[in-house]
Amino acid sequence: MERVADRIKHFREFHDTVPTEEVVKQTDKCMSCGVPFCQAGCMISGMASGCPLHNLIPEINHLVACGSMEQAYLRLAKTHSFPEFTGRVCPALCEAACTSGVHSTPVATKSNERALIEYAYENGLVKEEAPKVRTGKKVAVIGSGPSGLAAAQLLNRRGHSVTVYERSDRPGGLLRYGIPNMKLDKKVIDRRLALMEKAGISFVCNANIGKDIPAEEIMNEFDSVILACGASNPRDIKVPGREAKGIYFAVGFLGKVTKALLDSDFEKVPYQLAEGKSVLVIGGGDTGNDCVGTSIRLHAKEVIQLEMMPPAPKERLESNPWPEWPKVLKTDYGQEEAIEVFGKDPRIYQTTVTEFLKDEKGNVCGAKLVSLEPKKDPETGRMNMVPVKGTEKTIPVDLVLIAAGFLGSEKYVTEAFGVETDGRSNVKTNPGEYATSRKKVFCAGDVHRGQSLVVWAIAEGRAVAKEVDLALMGYTNL
């Protein structure tokens, strides 16, 4: 990996693909395992343990250890649509469930996966061929994120004619405009999209279904429709002064940066968005961390990141045993870079904003903060984070990025297609199924399950493809 002091000077990917010798070393380590939880993909204590795609990790690693890289890739490709994406941005549920991780470091499955798919590309093994026979059925996929792309890939292979609609100017969804280029180089997306287009999948950009194009027009033209348009309704911070200029939702800000870079072929960095500014990031998680790393690259004067909850423990608690997902403190690349540049971790825990301050021009110039403490609600028994009197303070702020998560699907889409939603505004289906309340309309990914991981989106995209194929043909071989 590139040194922190060097990588903050650019927006290129800073994680390297590990050499084959290291991959073989890691796969050898896997061979002594007797209980491969890594591929389970099951729910334990409400958290996923192991790969939701059920990648056959021990089999893949065995083939790599034997020197059969081509066969290892073919085995991976049986269950996985886009290893090049998860090999870069997945939190590696497989590694968290790795049996080796009980007493030592887990097998580096994520970096192994990236090395394997890059080997496959370099050696011409990654192919997406047009089907020899078409079924005559037409499928529309609304959204070109990981779930939409995975569904489109399998349905096209099956012989259906697939058109993917994307409201942005380029396909990729949150892969394109929600994840910064230093984590996922957009050329990686374009490389895969070129193969999919060559195989016969059509992409229509700048097409906002439900606004620019009526949903009924899509319904009349296609035999099936898949809603894969994400959970892009951001959670807001409703406090006095919210209307001030200079307050943005995190994904919108990150997308604006990426678009400026892509439009100029990385010749023009939009420094004006954060240069010399005091940046306040509200919210943790991957998106909050991406805001920290991006602000640093845009020459922010300082970056503060607020988290409402207390910090997680540094090591597993007895109440969080393996193979559960480890709820431990994580210092990600953005925080590492803030420590390098500013000399301290940007995160302030158990703190929230009570008001934004504006200057005479209406620009945000400060934020009032208050500390929080956990208190049990006597009626519900739930623990709530409540303000602590006497802890109020005001800090100078020039730019605010709200990374407080998402509330589910966007109402204009669900209303346009006339599908039912649940109490969290996700598109409603029967448990374990993908058909919506409206005939021939299906859903997958974040629009179905709420804000989640790329690997879950791919898994749902593959699953909905099978269900759509069954509905169209009466049987399925997907």
Q: Count of alpha carbons within 13 Å of 84, Cβ hemisphere only?
A: 20
Q: Residue 103 above 90 pLDDT? A: no
The answer to whether position 445 is within a domain reads yes
> Among residues 402, 422, 454, which one ends one of the domains?
402
Amino acid at residue number 32: S
256 and 397 housed in the same domain: yes
Which tops the pLDDT comparison, 104 or 273? Answer: 273
Place of tokens 């845009």: 298
CA 226 to CA 228: how far, in whole Å?
Answer: 6
User: Model confidence at 378, in pLDDT bands (50, 70, 90)?
Assistant: confident
For residue 380, being part of any structural domain is answered with yes
Predicted local confidence at residue 199, as pLDDT: 98
Could you read off the pLDDT of 179-209 as tens digits, one per residue? Answer: 999 999 999 999 999 999 999 999 999 999 9
Q: Is residue 129 part of a domain?
A: no
Copy the structure tokens of residue 319. Answer: 């109440």
Q: Of 70, 88, 122, which closes a domain? A: 122
Residue 461 · residue 444 · CB < 8 Å: yes
Q: Are 373 and 330 contained in the same domain?
A: yes
Q: Name the helix (H) or strand (E) containing 204.
A: strand 202-204
- Give pLDDT, residue 29: 85
Task: Give a yes or no: residue 131 inside a domain.
Answer: no
- Provide the pLDDT for residue 35: 86
Exposed, middle or buried by CB within 10 Å (0-12, 13-18, 19+), for 222? buried
Whether residues 295 and 363 share a domain: the answer is yes
- The string of pLDDT tens digits covering residues 231-257 is 989 999 999 999 999 999 999 999 999
Residues 254 and 360 in one domain: yes
Is pLDDT above 80 for 317? yes
Of 39, 106, 42, the C-alpha closest to 75 is 39
The stretch 40-49 carries a mean pLDDT of: 89
Strands (E), 409-476: 441-443
**pLDDT at residue 412 is higher than 90:** yes
Specify the DSSP element, H or E, that contains 349. strand 347-349
Same domain, 44 and 145: no
- Residue 356 located in a structural domain: yes
Look at residue 2 in the predicted model and tell me its pLDDT.
Answer: 85
Asked if 107 and 224 sit in the same domain, the reply is no
Decide which of 64, 87, 122 is a domain's last residue: 122
| Residues spanned by the domain of 9 | 4-122
How confident is the model at residue 50, as a pLDDT? 95
Q: What's the chain's average pLDDT?
A: 95
Q: Which residues are 357's β-sheet partners?
A: 366
For residues 313-327, give the mean pLDDT: 92
Distance CA 8, CA 338 (A): 10
| Residue 463 pLDDT greater than 80, yes or no | yes
Measured from the Cβ of residue 196, the count of other Cβ atoms closer than 10 Å reads: 20
Higher confidence at residue 36 or residue 434? 434
| pLDDT higher than 90, residue 370 | yes
- Mean pLDDT to the nearest integer, 156-165: 98
Structure tokens at 340: 């390098």
380 or 60: which leads in pLDDT? 60
Examine the domain organization and report whether 82 and 173 are in the same domain.
no
C-alpha–C-alpha distance, residues 376 and 382, integer Å: 5
Confidence of residue 358 (pLDDT cuts 50, 70, 90): very high
Answer yes or no: is 132 within a domain: no
Q: Do 397 and 411 have their domain in common?
A: no
Q: How many CB atoms lie within 10 A of CB 42?
A: 14
48 and 184 share a domain? no
Is residue 90 in some structural domain? yes
As given in the structure block, the two tokens for residue 407 are 């509330």
Q: Is 321 helix (H, G, I), strand (E, B) or coil?
A: coil
Is 128 part of a structural domain of the chain? no
CATH number at residue 206: 3.50.50.60
395, 251: one domain: yes
Mean pLDDT for 141-149 is: 98
Q: Can you tell me the mean pLDDT for 204-223?
A: 97
Q: Are residues 423 and 307 in the same domain?
A: no
413-434 CB burial, b ≥16 within 10 A, e <16: bbebbebebeeebbbbbeeeeb
Percent of the chain with pLDDT over 70: 100
Dist CA 198 CA 202 (whole Å):
9
pLDDT recorded at residue 1: 76
Q: What is the CATH number of the domain that holds 91?
A: 1.10.1060.10
- Is pLDDT above 90 for 34? no
The whole-number pLDDT of residue 344 equals 97
Coil, strand or helix: which one is 112? helix
| pTM, rounded to two decimals | 0.96
Give pLDDT, residue 96: 94
Residue in the structure block whose two tokens are 């540049």 = 341
pLDDT confidence of residue 377: 87
Which helix or strand (DSSP H or E) is residue 88 part of? helix 83-89
Same domain? For 378 and 268 the reply is: yes
C-alpha angle 86/290/277, rounded to 5°? 165
CA-based nearest residue to 189, from 23, 13, 333? 13
Q: What is the pLDDT of residue 21?
A: 87
Count up the domains in the chain and report the number.
3
